[in-house]
Structure 1
Amino acid sequence: MTKLWPALLAAALLSGCAAPTATPPPAAPVPAAPAAGTVTWQYMRSTWHEARQPGLGISHRYQSRVGWIDVYLYDMNQGHWQAGVDDPRFEAQFQSSVEEIRLAGARGFYAEVEVGPISDVRIEGQDFRRVSLRIVHAVTRKAYESFTFLTARNGRLLKYRMSFEAPAPADVDAIAREFIERNLRSGPDMPRAAHPLLDT
């Protein structure tokens, strides 16, 4: 019997090393989505739209590794706008911003346009109306997740149009909110460049 111990011990050790067949192999690691606070937005340029149509104001473009953002400041030549989303003219202006995208699709610039839910959100003490859109570019066939945030501030309309190549980062809402918070604190009129290039 004592001669059998080494063989039995070896068999027990080998059976303990064998992986159970019922356990699936570990999943491949999934790259983590960029967390809020890790996305750096670079100011690219400013575009003056008044020459094309009075009332369209100015926009500032920011870009990062996850997408781009355009910040629009304008009044539509309609005088002072009541702060937030309560101006009687606000809903029509918001719907016009959504229709701009639909019209671009109808003209063939986009192959697909899907309008998502509309909601009111509060960011840094400012009320915004928000809509999400899914867009497929007609030429490149690339899909984008787009978000529009509109409000009235300091007598003018303030719009953030954000575009992320699909699939958008899992924490895209946190990324969008963080950009808007910082932009409101620093002042949407002041892009992060000493001398912005004005395109006419």
Structure 2
Amino acid sequence: MNELLNLAIDPAAWAALVTLIVMEVVLGIDNLVFISILSNKLPPEHRQRVRRIGISLALIMRLVLLSTIAFIVGLTAPVFDLGLTGPLGSHGEPTFETALSWRDLILLAGGLFLIWKATKEIHHTVDPKQESHDVLDKTGAAISNVGSAIFQIILLDLVFSTDSILTAVGMTEHLPIMVVAVLVAVTVMLLAADPLANFINNNPTV
């Protein structure tokens, strides 16, 4: 409780929360676009329900991953040490060390994942035709019923949820801030789901 009160009166915590909410909403756009594309392949009477299920699963996956990664990030004990240290700083401590903890390894892996994700998005922006064609080829024939759509949405949610939570862990160490940001971002996704799906359905070439 004291931690929550301290965060509530800390301007830096509020700044981190606002920044993280914006980031989570931006990262959730891809997730929502794919959910909309998959749900639009279903009969009209099933589309809204499948979108709601997909977004709910996205929230559940984010919270599960968040609790797991938050635990791992809390493990700060060194796992191994390369034995290198930098020169002493003004406070008499080394400017850098090569003792790596599980937290360091997780954040390093997360950073590499985000770099790969960003590179892939840039490639898609430069040459979108090939990726879009592949996605439609893989999903068009498989979407024949609600169960198939939900299964594919689960796979997409897992990928995008991992992206989302790695970003959250990299931006702040406070679990309450991460949880609030994820809840707000998923709420925005829920509100935007139907308008975005209708826009995609009416403008398939966008």
TM-score relative to the length of structure 1: 0.29
Q: Considering only CA atoms, is the larger Rg found in Structure 1 or Structure 2?
A: 1
More strand by proportion, 1 or 2?
1
Q: Which has the higher contact order (CA 8 A, sep 6+)?
A: 2
More helix by proportion, 1 or 2?
2
